[in-house]
Amino acid sequence: MRISKTLLYLVIFIFLLTLPLYTGVYLLNVMDIILIYMALALSWDMLLRSGQISFGMAGLFGVGGYTAVLLHLNAGLNPIVSIILGGLAAGVLAWLIGVAVLQLRGMYFAIVTLALAEIFRVIVRNLPDLTGGPEGTVLPSAIFAGNSTKTYWLTLSVALVSVITSEIFRCTRVHFALTSIRNDEIVAKSSGIDVFKYLVFIFMVTSAIQGLTGGAYAHIYGFVSPEGSFSVDFTLLPIAMALLGGMHSTWGPVVGAVLLGMVSEFLKLQIPYGHLLVYGLIIVIAILFFPQGIVGTLGKNLKRAGGA
C-alpha cells in the first residue's frame, strides 16, 4: 500500500512538472492561481488543526508581497531570494504578534487576526515614500520576464512546500499535539504538551507560507497595492476551498482548491457578472451536503464499504 501511494504521488508530481510541455499559456495561468490558493488553503487548515481560526491570511500574504517587492527594488536582491525573505518576514512578524494574540482563543483570536490584516493595509497606505501609498508599487518587469512556464514552476514549488509541510506535520508528533490541543487544551497540558509553544510555532510556520505565497504572487504579476495585496479574497476563498475539500487533512484543501479554482474560472467565462453568486451557492450546497468536505465524506463512505 505504501509503495503504491508513493508511486501515485510520483506520477502526479511528474505530470505536474511536465504540464507546460503539453498545454498552453492560458491553462498555465489558471494553474498559477489554483496553486497560489492551494498553498493558502493548506496554511489555513494547518493552523485550524490546533483549533485556532485565523482571518488574517490576507494581511500576512500582503506583508510577504510588499517585503519581496521592496527588497528587490531597494536592495537589488534576486527575485527568488526576495520571495524567500518575504516569507521569513511574515513568519517573524507572526512570531512577534503570536506571543501576544495567542493568549486569546476561538472567536477572539479570529477577530484579532482580521483586525491585524486591516491594520497592515492601513500602515502600507500611509507610508507612501516606502510603499508607494494607495497607488502601490510596480516592478520594472515581472519575474522571469513573464515566462509562463517558469512562473508555473514557481507557483508549483510554493504549493509543494505547503503540501510537504502539511504532510510532515501530519506524520510527526506535531499532529498529535495539535489534535490534543484542539480537542481539549486542559488535557493536552496535563499530558505534558506545551500548548503555547506549539500554537506560536504553527502560527509562525503557516504565516511564513502565506508570506512566501504573497511574495511569489507579487513578483508574478509585477505589482503590489493596499487593495490588491491585502484583498479579502486571499482570506475567504482559501477558507472556502478548505471547507469544500475537507478540513484537518492535506488532500482536502488540495482537492477543494482544484475544484473551486476550475469552477471559478469556468464561471468567469460563462457568467462574467454573476459568477460570484453561483460560486457562493456551490460552496453553501457543498457544505450542507458534505459537512466533512469531499475528501472526508469519500473516506467515510469507503470505510463503510470496506467494513461491509
Give the pLDDT of residue 305: 65
Give the pLDDT of residue 1: 53
What is the Cα gyration radius of the chain? 19
Give the pLDDT of residue 270: 76
Distance CA(237)–CA(185), nearest Å, equals 29
- SS3 category, 224: strand
Give the pLDDT of residue 232: 86
Mind listing the pLDDT tens digit for each residue in 239-279?
A: 888 988 888 889 999 999 999 888 877 777 777 766 667 76
Identify the residue whose cell numbers are 510596480.
138
Residue-number span of the structural domain to which 136 is assigned: 25-231
Distance CA(34)–CA(294), nearest Å, equals 18
Q: Would you say residue 281 lies in a domain?
A: no
Give the pLDDT of residue 5: 72
Distance CA(150)–CA(11), nearest Å, equals 21
**pLDDT band of 3, cuts 50, 70, 90:** low
Total structural domains within the chain: 1
Mind listing the pLDDT tens digit for each residue in 7-44?
A: 888 888 899 999 998 888 999 999 999 999 999 999 99
- SS3 category, 223: strand
Q: Would you say residue 194 lies in a domain?
A: yes
Closest CA to 68 of 6, 181, 158, 172: 158
Mind listing the pLDDT tens digit for each residue in 54-94?
A: 999 999 999 999 999 999 999 989 999 999 999 999 999 99
SS (H, E, C) 77-100: CCHHHHHHHHHHHHHHHHHHHHHH
Distance CA(120)–CA(216), nearest Å, equals 19
